């Protein structure tokens, strides 16, 4: 982890993003203990912003609290993977269908910019955390205009868990990156093009296929 943080923003927000990036770069591994005092010393802050950041990350699914052992990075197992998959397949395609049918052009413009950012990150290589976060935001922008706040809330609560699953799937046991996400980018492009064309059913169908294939690869151990 990088040392002393420059804290022009809220200390909690800065610490939160630093820990999230540490997890999504695989620098902080699944199951690794997260000790408040150690992180506070690392970042040059008091324990309070670290404690609050860990609480937020616990709610988003990147950090778990273990009885009598404190906080640690969330582990990824088949139960977590299938639980996230099932919820996303049940809700996300319908949310995308509704958003496209509602004509959420503003969100689609942001999704297009997110897709372009992902393209640059893939071409540059290396920033897996950045790519994972951009992919996470891309999906949320596609369903943002669905018109159902509870549907959005459920899906938003799965974003960090999906990002963690992605990062773990991209590495082997020694932490080496297995492959780029070229095919995922192509699938994102196809979904967005359907959405931009106003094809709500097509965008929903492509979203279902994209989510299914992603989790098939993860569960097969192919990354």
Confidence class of residue 3 from pLDDT cuts 50, 70 and 90?
low
Whether 57 has a pLDDT exceeding 90, the answer reads yes
**Residue 6 confidence (pLDDT):** 52
Mean pLDDT of 52-57: 94
Instruction: List Cβ neighbours of 107 (8 Å cut-off, separation of 6 or more).
Output: 99, 141, 142, 144, 145
**Residue 221 confidence (pLDDT):** 67
The Cα–Cα gap between 7 and 21 comes to 16
The Cα–Cα gap between 40 and 48 comes to 8
Delineate the domains of the chain, giving CATH numbers in brackets.
Answer: 11-73 (1.10.10.10), 78-220 (1.20.120.530)
- Using CA atoms in the order 139, 144, 149, 155, what is the torsion angle rounded to 10 degrees? 0
Whether 50 has a pLDDT exceeding 80, the answer reads yes
Higher pLDDT, 123 or 83: 83
Q: Over pLDDT 90: what percentage of the chain?
A: 57
Whether 168 has a pLDDT exceeding 60, the answer reads yes
User: pTM above the 0.75 mark?
Assistant: yes
Mean pLDDT of 122-132: 78
Q: Over pLDDT 70: what percentage of the chain?
A: 88
**Residue 223 confidence (pLDDT):** 42
Whether 222 has a pLDDT exceeding 50, the answer reads no
Higher pLDDT, 1 or 147: 147
């Amino acid at each position: 982890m990088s040392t002393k943080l420059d804290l022009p923003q809220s200390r909690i927000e800065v610490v939160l993003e630093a820990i999230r990036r540490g997890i999504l770069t695989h620098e902080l591994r699944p199951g690794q203990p997260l000790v408040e005092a150690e992180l506070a010393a690392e970042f040059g802050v008091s324990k309070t912003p670290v404690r609050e950041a860990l609480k937020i990350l616990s709610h988003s699914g990147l950090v778990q609290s273990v009885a009598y052992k404190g906080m640690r990075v969330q582990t990824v197992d088949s139960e977590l993977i299938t639980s996230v998959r099932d919820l996303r397949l049940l809700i996300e395609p319908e949310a995308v269908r509704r958003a496209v049918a509602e004509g959420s052009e503003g969100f689609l413009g942001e999704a297009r910019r997110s897709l372009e950012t992902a393209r640059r990150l893939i071409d540059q290589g290396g920033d897996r955390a950045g790519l994972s976060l951009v992919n996470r935001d891309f999906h949320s922008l596609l369903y943002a205009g669905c018109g159902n706040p509870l549907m959005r809330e459920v899906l938003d609560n799965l974003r960090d868990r999906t990002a963690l699953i992605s990062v773990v799937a991209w590495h082997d046991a020694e932490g080496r990156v297995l492959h780029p996400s070229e095919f995922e980018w192509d699938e994102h492009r196809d979904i967005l093009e359907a959405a931009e064309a106003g094809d709500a059913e097509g965008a929903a169908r492509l979203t279902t296929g994209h989510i299914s294939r992603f989790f098939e690869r993860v569960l097969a151990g192919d990354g």
